Structure 1
Amino acid sequence: MITIEMPLIQAISEENRNYIRYFDEKLGHVPNLYLSMMHSNHAFRNFYRFHGRKTSLSLKEREAISLVMAQLNNSLYCLSAHTMIAKLNGFSEEEIMQLRDGKANFDTKLATLARLVKSMAVRKGKNITNELNAFFDAGYTKEHLLDVLETIGESYMSNFMAKTMQVPLDFPEAPVLKKNDEDENDDIA
């Protein structure tokens, strides 16, 4: 197995060093995923701008999508990061575990969103008519759908970067989600 070390600060571009100073000031550290992207002069800036885009989705909706996708992509780093972020956004441990499983018994609208995201990812966008109808019936719009797709894409990028770069955890490790027999074919990565 190839080990990809975190970049040395002196090897990071000046623009990326500005981001490091920003995160040190705001968070007290740079998340390892972000630091790993700084092997490139452009990757982090491009990702961060995309991450900061305007969206019709609430923070809770974006976190729900991120949790579903990190679980399906089996990205421990992203599961751990988004578990912590979800807690900061008011989700309980039990709610987080439900969302990771593509469910939300505590909120019907989020349940519809989580089901759609899980179905889209598992079925690669095919045979999701029932989930799409439920999504629109729940009050979501075409704008929401496009923002969901962008958030799924963002999740794929960060999940695969974390796994490929073997980013070390700098968040408390997310607990394991116990799988049901019906969930055996859900892992998409």
Structure 2
Amino acid sequence: MTRVPLIDPATATGAAAEQLAATRQTLGVIPNMATAMANSPAALQGFLGLFGALKQGVLPAATQERIALAVAEANGCAYCLSAHTMVSRNAVKLPEEEITAARRGHSLDAKSEAVLHLALAITRNRGPVDKETFDAARQAGLSDEEIVEVIANVARNIFTNYVNEALDVDVEWPLVTPFERTASSATREA
């Protein structure tokens, strides 16, 4: 059960109501994550601002979804894995093998593979990236703009992973469990 109240858009007032309306306009839906985040309208506004800005960036939606899947898997966030698996399948139309590969930090596309290696290095090292990973991103053709947007997408996804995990937000999407938790559960049951 979510650790903070989920702010009901139908009864919300003031800044929370404004940001929940902006959420529907930006995302097309108001997910549980947003209703939890609406406890701080400023936090929800910040998320929506970054989301909207990156949507207009140079990284294609499929690349942004691959990053979201890889970062959610690395952080063990079932909420974000569930939401981004659904978006990847239904909105972006990534093939199932690409969704699974992205969760593991890989892609059949060389440039996407380099993006994911960079994104996971940033995630796991909390910012620092070794020369080899950075050079590999350059060699795969990533521009300065793309590299900065990879960093911004990682930050956005870490924020939502942390919100969902710290607040234990109820997952309203078809549940996708991180590989590590799935393996742990199978080991315990055996």
Give the TM-score, by structure 2 length.
0.82
1:90-138 deviation per Cα after TM superposition (whole angstroms, max 9, x unaligned): 212221111011011x211111111121122223344521121111111
- State percent identity of aligned pairs: 24
Residue 25 of structure 1: how far off its partner (Å): 7.8
CA contact (8 A) 1:71 1:100 kept: yes
SS in 2 for 1:91: coil
SS in 2 for 1:103: coil
The yes-or-no answer on 1:91 pairing with 2:94 is yes
Deviates more, 1:106-115 or 1:69-78: 106-115
1:115-174 deviation per Cα after TM superposition (whole angstroms, max 9, x unaligned): 121122223344521121111111111111111111111011110001111110111111
Where structure 1 has 5 or more consecutive residues not aligned to the other structure, the ranges are: 180-189
Change (3 A) 1:84 1:145: same
Is the helix fraction higher in 1 or 2? 2
Counterpart of 1:184 in structure 2 is none
CA contact (8 A) 1:36 1:167 kept: yes
Where structure 2 has 5 or more consecutive residues not aligned to the other structure, the ranges are: 182-190
CA contact (8 A) 2:118 2:129 kept: no
The total of aligned residue pairs comes to: 178
Counterpart of 2:125 in structure 1 is 123
Residue 26 of structure 1: how far off its partner (Å): 8.5
Give the TM-score, by structure 1 length.
0.82
**For the aligned residues, what is the CA RMSD?**
2.6
Counterpart of 2:170 in structure 1 is 168
Q: Within 2, Cα distance between the matches of 1:131 and 1:11?
A: 48
